[in-house]
Amino acid sequence: MVLESEALISIFDNAVMLGDTVTESTRIFSHRPFKLDRLYKSLKVTRIDPGCDAQQMMRITLDVLDANRSWMLQADDCWLVHDISRGRSIAGADPTIQRSQATVMIFTQPLDLLSWARFYEVGCHAVTAMSRIIPPQSLDARIKNRSRMAYTLAEIEVKLVDPQAQGIILDVHGFVAENKGGNIFAITNGTLRTPRSTNCMEGVSRDTVLELAQQLAIPIAEADLLPYDLYTADELFFTSTPYCVMPATKFNGLPVGDGKIGPITRKLLAAWSELVGVDIAAQALNQLHRPTVDF
Ligand SMILES: Cc1ncc(COP(=O)(O)O)c(C=O)c1O
């Protein structure tokens, strides 16, 4: 276990050379545990051998959390991030040959919610990127990985329209896919709809919202959504590990519904807050109104 300032990886690591890295981000609500299932699915499909099974990985991860306990208790909540690359490579050589053990990086860090906090009050502006998502026939979005160039370029296009906007990336057929780090939900006539997992990552937060909606008897559907469906939706929101549910009140310059955060979005956020025993919106808004703490 080393301090961030002392952590070193080789400049020849596959993480740097090829972005050949599987990743997982978990939010630790009130410092409670997390799951590693998706990480192990990504490792299997990418054929990266992390050198330990899920149980051992869990033990190492708990050690990382333990080593950080002193400051974690002062933080609202934390990210827990796993990055696992295929280890060292040789420039230009066969990238499929694993020349060292996998590089396993695990860190935890206070959750910085500042860039999303005000959206819990007013909603964000969702804007479609010009670039399209990488088709699942090329790279299945369910493999959570660190090759993020496509997402970053799409987000740059979105910020050209509005520097505060949150991106919506379409697939090659023009259907709504996902955000650079989140999933998308639209509510129309009381039904909650989200893109199918053939063109988006199966977000843990997406699953949570689908489960909560079922419990609240809100009809749900995985569907092919076109931008038209978002323009005409009554409510729109994103889901992702750090912010859970982020309402969107504007889509490509037009108000979504009446331009205010809708009742079903609020209901789902309240149900999630109840589930984890944390007022998710209040926690983020609280960060806006207090000085930054250095850990
Ligand atoms: C491309 C992409 N889509 C969706 C998500 C949302 O997944 P989760 O809810 O597990 O954070 C992420 C999370 O990082 C992501 O990178």
β-bridge partners, 223: 195
- CATH of the domain spanning 116-284: 3.20.10.10
Nearest CA to ligand 1 atom 8: 203
pLDDT > 90: percent of the chain: 78
How many C-beta neighbours within 10 Å does residue 212 have?
21
- The predicted-structure confidence for 55-66, as pLDDT tens digits, reads as follows 999 999 999 988
- The predicted-structure confidence for 176-209, as pLDDT tens digits, reads as follows 999 999 999 999 999 999 999 998 999 999 999 9
Rounded distance, CA 48 to CA 38, Å?
A: 14
Q: Which atom of ligand 1 is nearest to the CA of 206?
A: 9
Output the pLDDT for position 119: 97
- The predicted-structure confidence for 251-265, as pLDDT tens digits, reads as follows 999 999 999 999 999
More confident residue, 111 or 229: 229
Answer whether 203 contacts ligand 1 (Cβ < 6 A).
yes
Nearest CA to ligand 1 atom 12: 181
- CATH of the domain spanning 4-111: 3.30.470.10
Q: Which two tokens stand for residue 66?
A: 């333990």
The whole-number average pLDDT for the span 206-220 is 97
Q: Which atom of ligand 1 is nearest to the CA of 205?
A: 9
Answer whether 183 contacts ligand 1 (Cβ < 6 A).
yes
CB-CB contact of 117 with 285 (8 Å): yes
Distance from residue 200's CA to the centre of ligand 1 (Å):
9
Nearest CA to ligand 1 atom 13: 181
Answer whether 242 contacts ligand 1 (Cβ < 6 A).
no
Output the pLDDT for position 293: 52
Question: Which SS3 state, helix, strand or coil, does residue 166 take?
Answer: strand
Distance from residue 183's CA to the centre of ligand 1 (Å):
6
Rounded distance, CA 274 to CA 252, Å?
A: 32
Residue type, 254: L
More confident residue, 167 or 74: 167
Taking CA atoms, 180 is separated from 10, 64, 164, 200, 254, in Å, by: 27, 27, 14, 10, 21
CB-CB contact of 208 with 255 (8 Å): no
Domains 4-111 and 116-284 share a fold: no
0.85 exceeded by the pTM?
A: yes
Domain borders along the chain are: 4-111, 116-284
Mean pLDDT of the chain: 92
Model confidence at 295: pLDDT above 70: no
Output the pLDDT for position 144: 95
Distance from residue 25's CA to the centre of ligand 1 (Å):
8
Output the pLDDT for position 32: 60
- The predicted-structure confidence for 39-55, as pLDDT tens digits, reads as follows 999 999 999 999 999 99
More confident residue, 230 or 76: 230
Those residues whose C-beta lies under 8 Å from the C-beta of residue 55, and which sit 6 or more positions away, are none
- The predicted-structure confidence for 142-178, as pLDDT tens digits, reads as follows 999 999 999 999 999 999 999 999 999 999 999 999 9
Taking CA atoms, 146 is separated from 87, 126, 255, in Å, by: 14, 24, 34
pLDDT band at 28 (very low <50, low <70, confident <90, very high): confident
Distance from residue 93's CA to the centre of ligand 1 (Å):
32
Question: Which SS3 state, helix, strand or coil, does residue 196 take?
Answer: coil
pLDDT band at 290 (very low <50, low <70, confident <90, very high): confident
Q: Which helix or strand (DSSP H or E) is residue 161 part of?
A: helix 149-161
pLDDT band at 1 (very low <50, low <70, confident <90, very high): confident
User: With the CA atoms of 95, 97, 101 and 102 taken in that order, what torsion angle do they form, in degrees rounded to the nearest 10?
Assistant: 40
Output the pLDDT for position 91: 84
Helix-strand-coil percent breakdown of the chain, rounded to 5? 35, 25, 40
Mutate to test the pocket of ligand 1, among 240, 243, 268 (most ligand atoms within 8 A of CB): 240
The whole-number average pLDDT for the span 12-38 is 84
